Structure 1
């Protein structure tokens, strides 16, 4: 039992560290590309956390599919089936994250084409002057 506690403690510490480092990258890095990478890491960390929340400690873990209708099969499925909701939420989150990352990457490419830099200060300064100058 102590190995399980150690393993789960280590996993949670790594997730917490990953979250803090990615938030640091989003807030303090100047390059928009590095901010996008940190945002992707934060999204992946959240997905891993959702998978861990839905994890069950039963062996054998079976998919939640009832092949034939009987009371014994229903009871077995109730005790050993994995929860499909966290898996569905993570799959949806991955698709949404990929779409948002593609949109942000497109914005970074356009900002680089216009300003010649991916430094957030230069991009904000350039577009800020452009908005004031209208």
Structure 2
């Protein structure tokens, strides 16, 4: 059983590192206006003025109340930054919930098919308990 679990965890990493597999082209930074000095500030310091509804939604959300920083979901302000959070990022902390849904059931928007971004409130019935 342990061998099967270990193999299932290592297989994707080994496949990604396989020789002859072309590397993906590096994308430009997605938040290039943030300097190293600004990166140490909290995102809400700038976004409270730029996108106040987003900041208010996050502040009242389970993530905001637990003080989960923006970089946990969106990545750093450099090359790892992404506006659109992938379901895999959510599954990093919410593996059981993601596994209970599966990508086909979650829909094309992943977790955000049912959960509003930033507020993270569920829309409709709670499917994770099924």
- Alignment TM-score, normalising by the size of structure 2: 0.24
- Alignment TM-score, normalising by the size of structure 1: 0.23
- Structure with the higher fraction of residues in helix conformation: 1
